[in-house]
Chains A and B, each alone.
Chain A
Amino acid sequence: MLSHIPDAIELVDYIDDGEQARHYQFRLVNINKPSEKNTNNNTAKHHWQDAQPGQFFMLNVPSIGEAAFTFTEPPNEQGEFRALIRQMGKLTTTLFTLPKGDILGARGPFGRGWPLEKINKKNIIIIAGGCGLAPLVNLIDSLIDNLTASQQLVLIYGAQNKQAQLLTTERERWQQHIKIYNSLDEINDQYTLVENESQGTPLDIVDIALATFIKPATTALLCGPEIMMNSAAKKLVDNGIASDDIFLAIERRMHCAIGLCGHCYLNERYVCKNGPTFSWQELQ
């Protein structure tokens, strides 16, 4: 049976990041493994330790409801995990008012994460827009940790403007290991672009980024607004990357996360169950 029931989590901490976004740290109140039979009602019901990069969880803000978020750091031994959350609708607006120490709920991990077997050791171009970088944080960290000598990783990160850029600390950390290009939709007159920064959308820099590779990129990871991803995928196919080596993380409204409520449909698939990552080929 599938569980609709969240485990209780504590809102441990948060820090602001960019415009109206925050890094939240949560902790599972009870980290008993589901297998450790315990008649308590507060036994953990979900297999938190199995979380893979790109998978997501349902955050339950009790008076409001549930919504899906990706881990920026998956649950560790102590049951602590993090997520980057942007203030958007009713649920996040309420969340942003909650004090540290509040008890909320979470279910997960859900969905199919990034296909690690097809990514490891490959030359990878990553294209992310705005909040779309969040589902990649965890993956980029682990890719960098395991970077081989011959392997190359390039990230294009697009944002509306300077204030809308997120994950600055992370990007600075990555900068030391991989090449990062930043694009900004709008800049004001006084602003002077710094190195590797340009005005426009991520699409404008794809050619430049591809040229950075010594041996051609063979794999692409995309995350962000759907229109941007679709155009980027087409462009990458034109540049010789196979459509089953291009992966997209799709966002949809979700209520159940277990393939039942129907809200996240994408053609005949359910994004929560069959995704959220899909190869470009699967989406054709």
Chain B
Amino acid sequence: MCADLVKTICPFCGVGCGICLKVDEQGQLLSVEPQQNHPISQGKLCDKGWSTAYAINSDQRLTQPLKRINKSFYPISWQEALTTIADELTAIIDESGSQAVGVISSARASNEDNYAAQKFARAVLKTNNIDHCARICHSPTVAGLKQSLGSGAMTNSAKDILETDLMLVFGADPTENHSILGGHIMQAHAQGTELIVVDPRVTRLAKLTPMHLQLKLGSNIALINALLHVIIKEQWFDQRFVESRTQGFEQLAKHVKDITPESVESTTGVSAELIRTTARAYSHAKRAMIFYGMGITQYVSGTNNVISLANLALTCGHIGKAGTGVNPLRGQNNVQGACDMGCLPNVYPGYQAVAELENQEKFSKAWGTKVTQQAGLTSLGMTKAAQSGDFRALLLFGEDPVVTDPDQNHVQSSLKNLDLFVVAELTMTETAKLADIILPAASFAEKDGTFTNCERRVQKVNQAIAPLGEAKGDWQWLQALAKEMGSKLLNWQSSEDVFNEMAALTPPYQAMTYQKITDNSGLQWPCTNETPNGTTILHQQSFPIGRARFICVNQVDIDESTDDNYPLLLTTNRLHFHYGCGSMTRNSPLLERETPPGVLFINPIDAKALNINHQAPVSIKSRRGYVETRAMFSDDVPVGLVSMPYHFKEAPSNQLTNTAQDPVTKMPELKACAVVVAALAKDQVPKTIQQLQEGK
């Protein structure tokens, strides 16, 4: 029977729902229930949240450090693990310098863990080679919104959904990826709030509204520019706002002058009429909110896509007020926090630029050690440098780039090339299999700390059970490793100590403490001495850069188009019942049952032409790779487009996806590549990628 109800935060996505862990007398995690009075989730959870106990209690959990000898792993003691890692790191730094080592932290880990990771990299290893996975989700958000508005986060809050008059959902599938927020959108829609969905696929939300702009893959900018054209031409823009709060409007007006809805009909596949209706609706709404997701960011034009959405909101003055804003829906539970904590090569905690001397001095002083001036590498940069042998040692936690990164094969061979590869993980992931040393990580239920959700709300995570076996929290083992390397810089007593050090150095977190966070059910940054109760809406009076900037951007076509050999376009999507690489959610027998391992969504018309049956085995090939999986008929994908979720290690979409990158953020174009699909023999069981590779 349940002896205790520990309230904490769901670890599965950026919504940050309130969850209670039910623990029995023996300290075992039994199951979960929602927090009834949580400000966002109010007694609801999605299927991932409800199956949390399966993920934590999985018999797949790693419980002791492992060392790889040839192809097998052998258990070793923590002491041996730490000594080995410390010795090798020191040797490599001595030989090749600090640029040859780096850390990739995790958007799943707590703020405390992420803060510790970047401090470890910068203060102990003396390198700015620190990154996390936001690169493949939302780095264009940070880059784009930073330029346009001066801050790269969701401008408004979840509660604004029930205060707005119109919701424009752009390249996002919130009911699948951020289910509880998606639920809010459905609720608002049911109560009469207008809903416009822009997506190449017929998403769940698209089924609820007549206003679905089913644009062609990668034609976002053309569409937005045409919307701007109409709004400006018809004088529907917010003149007062544009004049008092922005700069560069003239150029923008000139830039879109000739981009009529008619001129983009063929590029976007959206009728001029629908573009006009949308322009009218968005500009005329008293309050309108934009939501966007990876359908905006995961393109070579990702940063520019984000900028054009900002242009749209600024033109209509739909920002800085309740029920408005440009709102990125960020994937992982703490991707906002990992960015805030400075787990990016170019910024310290709180987005303080590494390149600025003043900031270098600030952190050198605070940490009591001189930080390096040398620029750092991104995660893709690190893997590239590993390929050439310039980068030699990597500590990675809570990530599975072998499954989630674009161009798997490249990632795999680079990681294999490392002299020292350490992975801290909950379970044996595909990436962990390549490690020299694996450290057993504690799950969120086993530690104290904070997560920052997509609406910038810093929430308290509370320990409910003891770490499984010898598992350790991330900052704890980083601390032990630092000690082993002779550094006392990570000598905190508690998670709260870590938080307090961080808050003192991170302006937006300045006025936060654990107690205040708990008392307020979370605090939204900036929470400073001027705004001690946090900030629900950004940019109300002014932008961090003074006036917001209109930046003219042009349509950039997707990098790889179809041809005779690769006649279909492949896009990637997520399924609501899985999360990331699936290493946690797939331990639930319920969620695992929901789909066979790997699926390809295909329009029945395309399928028929290719002689493919529903649920039949198929092969998919792109210029970079080949996988086998099962076809799932779906009218939700238009003819000519197929779609694949990326959660499945058996049939990873990233074998296929393109590595062409956004020039600004190096974000790969995961959302579009050309493929050819073929039916396999009827009774053939699709081979997993592991089988295919071994067969080679």
Give chain A's interface residues, CB within 8 Å of chain B. 19-20, 93
Contact = CB atoms under 8 A, between A and B. Distances in A.
Contacts of A93: 685
Contacts of B683: 19-20
B interface SS class: loop
3 contacts: A19-B683, A20-B683, A93-B685
Instruction: Categorize the interface residue count of chain B.
Output: under 10
A20 B684 CA distance: 11
- Give 3 closest A-B pairs by Cβ, nearest first: A20-B683, A19-B683, A93-B685
Interface in B152-208: none
A20 B685 CA distance: 12
A96 to B, nearest CB: 12
A161 B654 CA distance: 37
A271 B437 CA distance: 52
Contacts of B685: 93
A21 to B, nearest CB: 11
A93 B596 CA distance: 15
Interface in B641-695: 683, 685
A62 to B, nearest CB: 16
Interface string B344-381: 00000000000000000000000000000000000000
Nearest to A20: B683
A208 B635 CA distance: 39
Nearest to B682: A160
A93 B683 CA distance: 12
A212 B451 CA distance: 75
A91 to B, nearest CB: 13
Interface in B374-432: none
A19 B685 CA distance: 14
Nearest to A163: B683
B26 to A, nearest CB: 25
B598 to A, nearest CB: 15
Nearest to B596: A89
A19 B682 CA distance: 11
A20 B682 CA distance: 12
A154 B298 CA distance: 62
A203 B683 CA distance: 25
A20 B683 CA distance: 9
B611 to A, nearest CB: 12
A89 B683 CA distance: 11
Contacts of A20: 683
B651 to A, nearest CB: 17
A181 to B, nearest CB: 24
A262 to B, nearest CB: 14
Nearest to A65: B589
A163 to B, nearest CB: 10
Nearest to B685: A93
A93 B684 CA distance: 12
B60 to A, nearest CB: 15
A19 B683 CA distance: 9
B686 to A, nearest CB: 13
A229 B687 CA distance: 34
Nearest to B683: A20
Contacts of A19: 683
B682 to A, nearest CB: 8
Nearest to A161: B682
A65 B162 CA distance: 46
A88 to B, nearest CB: 10
B271 to A, nearest CB: 39
A255 B390 CA distance: 56
Nearest to B589: A65
A19 B684 CA distance: 12
B41 to A, nearest CB: 28
Nearest to A89: B596
Nearest to A93: B685
B258 to A, nearest CB: 56
Nearest to A160: B682
A226 to B, nearest CB: 15
B362 to A, nearest CB: 57
A19 B681 CA distance: 13
B542 to A, nearest CB: 58
B58 to A, nearest CB: 17
A254 to B, nearest CB: 14
A107 B418 CA distance: 54
B399 to A, nearest CB: 29
A93 B685 CA distance: 11
B688 to A, nearest CB: 14
A140 to B, nearest CB: 27
